[in-house]
Amino acid sequence: MITRLRMQAMAAAMAMAFTLSGSLPAISQSASTQAAPTQTAATQAAVTPSIAAPEKPKASAARAGGGTGHVYLLRGLLNIFSLGMDDLAAKLQARGVSASVHNHADWQGIADDIASKYKAGKHGPVILIGHSLGADAVMIMAEYLGKKGVPVALVVPFDGTGSYAASSNVARVMNLTQRDYAYMRKGTGFRGTLQNIDVSKDGSIDHITIDKSARLHNMVVTSVLGVLGRGGGAPKPAAAPATAGGSTPAATGSTAAAAPAAATAAPKAQ
C-alpha cells in the first residue's frame, strides 16, 4: 500500500515537473516573439544613420576631383612598419586636405587611377609621400606618372633605401633622410626644386622613427598646404631661366646635385 502511494506521488511529481518544464519554452518563445519587433525597430533606427553617413565622403571626394588635389601616402616594408604615414595623413585631413594611405606595392595601380582621373579633368595637384620602400616607390611612381603626362606637384620621401632621379614632371622633391647614400638627384629635364634634408645629426631619429617625427610632420604639412595654396603642378620648361651651363639654380638644401651647378657658376663670375 505504502509502495503504491509512493509510486503515485512520484508519478504526480513527474507529471507536474513535465508540465512546468513544457510551459517554460512556451513562455520563453512568447517573450522573444514579443521582443522581436522592438529589437528590429532599434536595429532599423541604428542602420538608418549608417546608410546616410557615406554621403558626406562622396561629396568631399567630388570636390577633390574638381581640382583641390590629393595626397597619397605609401607605407614601407610589409605595410606595417610605416604607421607614421597614417598619423601624417590624419594631420593633413584635419587641415582639410584630401589624403589616403596605401601599400607601397600598389603604387602602379594608384598611378594608373591618378592618370585616368587627371586626363578626365577630375584630379587636382598630385602629392606623393612615402617611407622606406614607400619612399622609393613615390620616386618611381612620379617618373611613371611623367610618362603618362601627369605633373606631380610635390614628392616627399622619408628615408628611402637608395638614390633616385627626380623626373622632369616633378615640381619639387623634399627628401627627408638620415643617410647620405639616399640623397635624391636631378634627372634629365628636371627644372624643379630639389632638397636633400639630412637629419642624421638628430639622435632621436632613425629609419624606424623618421616617419613619426612631429618636427618633420610639421615641415611636410606646411609644404603641402603651400603647394595646394599655389595650385601645384610641375614647372613649365619655358619658365626656367637660360644659363650657359644649362643648369637651373632652383635646388636648395644640402644636395650632391647642387654641386655641379655651383661649379659651373664660378667660371661665369670670372
28: buried, middle or exposed (CB in 10 Å: 19+, 13-18, 0-12)?
exposed
The pLDDT of residue 124 is above 90: yes
Kindly report, residue by residue over 70-102, the tens digit of the pLDDT: 999 999 999 999 999 999 999 999 999 999 999
Q: For residue 125, give the amino acid letter.
A: P
d(CA 193, CA 170): 9
Q: For residue 130, give the amino acid letter.
A: G
Kindly report, residue by residue over 184-205, the tens digit of the pLDDT: 999 999 999 999 999 999 999 9
How does residue 68 score in pLDDT terms, banded at 50, 70 and 90? Answer: confident
Q: Which residue has the cell 615641415?
A: 219
Mean pLDDT, the chain, whole residue set: 73
What's the grid cell of residue 218? Answer: 610639421
| Full set of structural domains in the chain with CATH | 65-236 (3.40.50.1820)
